[in-house]
Amino acid sequence: MRFVLVLVLLIASLLANGDVVAETRVPDLQSLLRSPSSTQYETHAPKSLRRSYDEERALPVPVPSVSLFTNWVKSMGLKVTNSARARYWLWRKQSVESVFKQLKLDGGLDKILANRKFYAWATYVSLYNKKNPSKEVSMAGILTNTYGDLKLSGMLEVALNQRKQWKMAAVLARQQRENWQAAGKSADDIFVLLKLEQAGDKLFVTPQLNTWYNYVTMLKKDDASATIASVLTAHYGDEAIAKIFREANPRVKRMRFVKVWLETAWAKNRPQKTLSPEEYFKVLKLDDGVDKLLANPKLETWLSYVGKFNAKHPGQETTVIQTLTKFYDDVDLVKALEAAKKVPQTENIATDLQTTLFSTWIRNKISPDNAFKMLKLNADVDTLLTNPNLIIWITYLGQFNAANTGHGTTMIKTFTRFYGDEKLAKMLEAARHVPNTEKVATQFQTAQFIQWMRDGKKQNVIWKMLNMEKATWTKNRTRRFGTGTRTSTRPTNTSILVVSRFKCAFRFYDRNTSIRTRPRSKFYLLLALISRTVRAVSLAKLFYLKHILLN
């Protein structure tokens, strides 16, 4: 009997140092989860045996070398179990932490569940807790203190997919959750602890998400869905989390289940609120670019939403243009609307929106001159007629004059204020010789001549304005009429051409009397007779003036 006890002690001593190859057996996992109430291992040994431990404790037994004793144990075919090692540590009253370090289990977490020494330590923790029910130790707690919650939960999630490790991993994962609950950790605390708020688009490939999901369902058995929705929305927002759910494609089957469950919980329990038109504008992604705005089919949905929102929230009304100008610059917006007017599918809505935008400009007291500068039409007189923004400005001018009867202005007045008579006159004359601008240049030149006549400018004033001498004008007459057939000579100087055209127009325009006519045909004689009546004088003047300028 004494020999057996000595042998057991020697074997246990060697095993305590981890030098004997021991048989690895996974401890009873259910016993690790149960809280022990008594030290059952003592009841199995007779009192005489327990007394023998005390008697033999002081015997001077010589200890053989490690290699010699190990070979001797193997030669006898003996096997030492984890239970025997654990009993020896318990007999020596070693702490769980010291045994953990003695077995060098603090050297790395990656393969710890494949280490046979870990299961010997797990057996010891079970026996220790039975022996000390008031001082129970959690394996997960020691692992957490050594490696941290984040690394431990990640390792456990991987081990749960391993056939030989999942049982122990499940025990440790449960202990970890129980430790969090005992420490009063909320679902949001653990979400941050596991750094899930930083996962972003990789949320569903982050193993710790399953850990958090299991903790929430344990912590909030009856209200887990609402808690999940609240935490996800708080950290990501409705739009971002919706995108994550939409694009997620978990590779692990367990995570696919978690995705479905979380998405369902979030959809049913997310905080509901009425979105403002600006918020809904962003949800529909209408802020991606002004060029795509009018062609986006979601614009109609948003316009309908604005109408319903204004009807349900009196006092909080907003306009379509107010929202559009919050996201886009006025000039960029009006240019996009002008382009959309040329597309049949968007012509009507673009016209309506542009009219509304111009009405906003008028209310904000934006004058035609200010709009001219906003559209950068004042940069270069030579490119004025080919600038695509000119038609936008002309449209605004018409709407401005209609809204300000008696206080409007004309295109020529605005052009003259920015460029001056001389530069404008020369540009219009030059543009008349370009096919693409001939028609519009002729119209503007006619308007300029009429404005000069209304201002009472005579031919000599125009000569002086264009820096021309009367002798030059006399030398370069622009029209000569021979016998029977009309011929004309066009000088190359632009200023001379302008004066020539103005002289022809001025000959038939008298500010104080009537049109002076030349009896070249019965038609013009008829116009002369009509012009004698006061009511028809203006019509005759303008009609004949246009005829002269266009020929």
The ranges assigned to domains in the chain are: 1-137, 145-273, 508-551
The stretches in the chain having pLDDT less than 50 are 1-6, 14-70, 72-73, 76-78, 468-492, 511-520, 522, 525, 533-537
CA 492 to chain centre: 60
State how far the Cα of 231 lies from the Cα of 225, in Å rounded to an integer. 10
State how far the Cα of 100 lies from the Cα of 416, in Å rounded to an integer. 93
Contact criterion met (CB below 8 Å) for 221 and 267: no
* Beta bridge mates, 486: 481
pLDDT for the residue numbered 471: 43
State how far the Cα of 325 lies from the Cα of 353, in Å rounded to an integer. 12
Token output for 432: 């008349």
| Sequence-ordered list of residues with C-beta below 8 angstroms from that of 106, at least 6 positions apart, any chain | 100, 146
CA-based nearest residue to 332, from 257, 278, 389, 254: 389
pLDDT for the residue numbered 496: 56
Mean pLDDT score across all residues of the chain: 72
State how far the Cα of 478 lies from the Cα of 506, in Å rounded to an integer. 14
Percent of the chain that is helix, strand, coil (3-state, to 5): 65, 0, 35
State how far the Cα of 5 lies from the Cα of 12, in Å rounded to an integer. 11
pLDDT for the residue numbered 392: 92
Contact criterion met (CB below 8 Å) for 100 and 106: yes
State how far the Cα of 83 lies from the Cα of 100, in Å rounded to an integer. 16
Task: Report DSSP state, residue 161.
Answer: T
Residue 419 one-letter amino acid: Y
pLDDT for the residue numbered 359: 92
Q: CA-based angle 421:424:426, to the nearest 5? A: 105
pLDDT for the residue numbered 27: 45
State how far the Cα of 93 lies from the Cα of 86, in Å rounded to an integer. 10
CA 457 to chain centre: 61
State how far the Cα of 108 lies from the Cα of 152, in Å rounded to an integer. 11
pLDDT for the residue numbered 61: 41
CA-based nearest residue to 524, from 506, 540, 512, 513: 540
Q: How far is CA 490 from CA 226, 436, 461, 472, 501, in A?
A: 87, 21, 22, 14, 11
